[in-house]
Amino acid sequence: MADGTTLNAGAGGDVIATDDIGGVKHQRVKVQHGADGAASDVSATNPLPVTGEIIERINLAAGNYSGYSAVNKFGDNHDIDSGAEEDLWSAGGSYTGWLTSATLVEAVSASADDASAGTGARTIQIWGLDASYAEQTEVITLNGTTAVDSSSTYIRVFRARVLTAGSGGTAAGAITIRVDGAGATVAEIPLGYNQTEMAIYTVPAGKTAYIFGIFASGGDTLSRAFIDVELKVRESGGVFCTKFDLQLASDGTAAFQRQFTVPIVAAAQSDIVMTAGTDQDNTHVSGSFDLVLVDD
């Protein structure tokens, strides 16, 4: 059989490009690309666009993929003592912000200079979840050592940062975000950082988290420290389960990084935290994890 196929051969119809292979006609197709309503032939001077991995990551971080968003969480605990497992957040000890109901929170600084007309931090922005575990954020104007209430209620607060500052260009004191009425601390902006340091997160309602990577580092200036770091996930109504465990042996500092070939999955309303334990007092441990949120 010859190449090419004539449509309605008896009436001299159009010829469709085909290739005869062993008596079977295979249609030849020209590749095109373009936006809706446009098409351009692929050629040496007009190649088919191919997106590289780095471009995809940039687009993900920029929010250019509908239904997908990237989250990086990192925390720091400067003083973990022997025999004590602590969470990786700047306030130290076990995290106290696992609230059981939504409540107002308040922001207060250790310095009077962190105020609306002060030389330090003037406003902060906080991020968290409402009673339905939906994402929300707001800006709070500080009033120094006098606590200022949020306008919304929160069942989780997992990030905060200094938004504006006076002539000092930074917060003048550590800023605590706590349950209204000097209650439990839910987040802290430590002095010198201008944002929270907390490897702690809760997956919003209507989303699933895929954890792609983890990092941890630790050190003890006094002697060799053995450090155990864990990534834990608690599904709604459940208990914290260890999803990844790593060990560091430090004569000063040590670090570990892992990219998961198959991501760890955390369902909506799951709590995620990094913890650390050590055999030496005054051990400093940092950790972070990266995840992608996908709309359910």
Residue ranges of alpha helices (H) inside 7-120 are: 53-61
Using one digit for the tens of pLDDT, what is the confidence trace for 135-165? 999 999 999 999 999 999 999 999 999 999 9
Specify the pLDDT at position 122. 98
Spatial separation of the C-alpha atoms in residues 90 and 76, rounded to whole Å = 5
Q: Residues with Cβ < 8 Å from 121, sequence gap 6 or more?
A: 109, 114, 142, 162, 164, 165, 166, 170, 171, 172, 175, 189, 194
Residue ranges of alpha helices (H) inside the chain are: 53-61
Specify the pLDDT at position 220. 79
Using one digit for the tens of pLDDT, what is the confidence trace for 71-86? 999 999 999 999 999 9
Give the three-class secondary structure for 10: helix
Domain ranges for the chain: 5-40, 67-90+200-295, 103-189
Q: What is the mean pLDDT of the chain?
A: 93
Specify the pLDDT at position 4. 82
Specify the pLDDT at position 33. 85
Residue 287: which of 82, 78, 129 has the closest Cα? Answer: 78
User: pLDDT 10s digit of each residue in the chain, 296 long?
Assistant: 678 888 877 777 888 889 889 889 888 888 888 888 888 888 888 888 777 788 888 988 998 999 999 999 999 999 999 999 999 999 999 999 999 999 999 999 999 999 999 999 999 999 999 999 999 999 999 999 999 999 999 999 999 999 999 999 999 999 999 999 999 999 999 999 999 999 999 999 999 999 999 999 998 777 788 999 999 999 999 999 999 999 998 777 889 999 999 999 999 999 999 999 999 999 999 999 999 999 99
Specify the pLDDT at position 96. 97
Here the tokens at position 131 are 């009673």
Has domain 67-90+200-295 been given CATH number 1.10.3720.10?
no
Spatial separation of the C-alpha atoms in residues 127 and 174, rounded to whole Å = 18
Specify the pLDDT at position 201. 98
Specify the pLDDT at position 1. 61
Q: Is the pTM of this model over 0.85?
A: no
